[in-house]
Amino acid sequence: MVDADAVTDADLQRYRGWLTASEMARYQRFVRAHRQRQFIVGRVLLRAALGRLLAVPPLDIRLEEQVGKAPRLAAPLLKGAAPGFSIAHSGRWVACAVSAQTALGLDIELRDATRDLPALAAQAFDVDEMARWARIQNLAGDERVDGFYRLWSEKEASFKLGVVGGGHCVSLPHAELSVVLCSEQPLARPPQIEMVRLP
């Protein structure tokens, strides 16, 4: 995980050179500077994590955009299955998860008690999620807000994973964020949030 606001404008400019043509085309479609920052930081963070996993320099990682899907690992070419990975962002935070063994879906959300949580739930949740939300609404204050965002993040992470039933999901503790990681296969050990600096 990275605090995107801590990345200097000079570094952002340098990191733009890391993007493939398809990534650059997507980057240029973002209107807001904040969203452009999140995009660049996410792609550099993912390259750093994949580079560490695959034992190659981050600049050797090539990602290609896919319409309506997560990016595809274009290089290095691998003999076995491609690693699983997922990127998420919310506010100033950008995170990614990578695995050599399983597909992943990651979501992070800033917890905001001032939002109209019942209206958001009614708009986004299915029947089963609404039943879970009904139980969560009986909780007090922070527990209610935490419960809503955990349910929201689990829905988003499961969607990114693309597995019916959501796979194996785990909530990770963070002071500001709801963080949920879903995996297709059970994880050998509980994941940990690692705060990093970009290369």
CATH of the domain at 42: 3.90.470.20
Does residue 171 sit in the same domain as residue 136?
yes
Does residue 118 sit in the same domain as residue 163?
yes
Does residue 75 sit in the same domain as residue 118?
no
Does residue 115 sit in the same domain as residue 152?
yes
Does residue 45 sit in the same domain as residue 82?
yes
Does residue 1 sit in the same domain as residue 43?
yes
Contacts of 28 (CB under 8 A, 6+ apart): none
Q: Whole domain around residue 179: which residue ranges?
A: 104-183
Does residue 95 sit in the same domain as residue 71?
yes
Does residue 108 sit in the same domain as residue 147?
yes
Does residue 4 sit in the same domain as residue 86?
yes
Helix (H, G, I), strand (E, B) or coil at 60: helix
pLDDT, position 87: 97
When the pLDDT of each residue in the chain is averaged and rounded to a whole number, the result is 94
Q: Which residue has the tokens 């550099």?
A: 44
Does residue 6 sit in the same domain as residue 72?
yes
Does residue 43 sit in the same domain as residue 83?
yes
Quickly state the pLDDT bin for 6 (edges 50, 70, 90).
very high
Query: Within 10 Å of residue 165's Cβ, how many Cβ atoms?
Result: 9
Quickly state the pLDDT bin for 185 (edges 50, 70, 90).
very high
Does residue 96 sit in the same domain as residue 111?
no
Question: Total domain count for the chain?
Answer: 2
Task: State the average pLDDT over residues 77-96.
Answer: 93
Helix (H, G, I), strand (E, B) or coil at 84: strand
> Among candidates 110, 76, 64, 63, which has minimal Cα distance to 90?
110
Quickly state the pLDDT bin for 68 (edges 50, 70, 90).
confident
